[in-house]
Copies of this chain bind each other. A is one copy, B any other.
Amino acid sequence: MQKMIKGKLAGSKLAASHTADDRLPRYVQIRDDVVRRIGARSWAPGEPLPSEDKLAAEYSVAVGTMRKVLDALALEGIVERVRGRGTFVSRAFERTSMLRFVRFRGAVEGEVPTATIVSISTTQVLPAHAREKLALEPGDKTLYVHRTRSFDGEIVLVEHIFLPLNRFAKLQRFLKEHSPPLLYPVYESECGVLVSRAVDDLTGQTLSALDCKLFGLPPRSSAIQIERTMYEHSGDPVEWRQSYIPIDRFHYSVEIR
């Protein structure tokens, strides 16, 4: 009977999914399918999913199993559950952003620095390291955005952002007319990219001549480099950036569990 139900399911909804392994637990298969449908905008960020009952019926599983799926997604931060109201697709990194762990010494807590674009361009040539992080082939084009972030006109952060052009063509046009402080909401609304995970690598580095000039520092000054790779729910990388903060303004706070 267990087997029969499994077969029935595989033949209906989940068959539509690409490579769902039948040996995996059902709740994992369903989780992956829901993630796929969120990525495909079946339900947009902020919108409610169907109720547990309805989803359970749709996937032909018990409500308890569907709960396990939705609880897992809530834990991953992909959805948010509100008792009495429903289950909603998260607005991803809107709240968390690049600056979640970054603080600026001497600045008001929580204040977001103003963004100014230094230059935008497209390029096929980028360091092997960057190409690897973005899982690009040689010859794939990228969008390069050079920005500064400042408080009261004083630059506290310089960003070099690399994005695969095939996903972010719309962003190029958007940034010609706007300079939003946070890019992630724009990725979402303009390019349909939902960021779910990132890896930060912090090191000390010597600044380029241009960046020294931007900060108003002497040549070859050193700064903290935050190298961040961001991934969507599917696990594919979608952004790679290097950010520089002068040492005397640098503050990074993180919780370890």
Q: How far is the CA of A196 from the CA of B256 in the complex (A)?
A: 9
Which of A5-13, A212-220, A234-242, A246-254 forms part of the interface with chain B?
Answer: A246-254
Q: Is the beta-carbon distance between A247 and B202 smaller than 8 angstroms?
A: no
Q: Residue A199 at the B interface, CB < 8 A?
A: yes
Q: Chain B nearest CB: distance from A75 CB in Å? A: 8
Classify chain A: how many residues form its interface, as a range: 20 to 34
Write out, one digit per residue, whether chain A residues 183-206 have a CB within 8 A of any chain B CB (1) or not (0).
Answer: 000000000000011111111100
Question: Is residue A152 contacting chain B, with contact meaning CB distance below 8 A?
Answer: no
- List residues of chain B with CB within 8 A of the CB of A157: none
Contact with B along A70-105 (1 / 0, CB 8 A): 000001110000000000000000001000110001
User: B251, A202: Cβ atoms under 8 Å?
Assistant: yes
Residue of B nearest to A204 (CB): B247
A173 within 8 A of B: no
Residues of B within 8 A of A255 (CB): 197-200
Copies per complex of this chain? 2
Chain B residue nearest in CB terms to A76: B257
Give residues 122-159 of A contacting B (CB, 8 Å): none
How many Å from the CB of A257 to the closest CB on chain B? 6
Whole-angstrom distance between the alpha carbons of A34 and B201 in the complex? 37
Q: Contact at B204–A101, with CB atoms within 8 Å?
A: no
Q: Is the CB of B256 within 8 A of A101?
A: yes
A76 neighbours in B (Cβ, 8 Å): 257
Instruction: Give the shortest distance, in Å, between A256 (CB) and chain B (any CB).
Output: 4
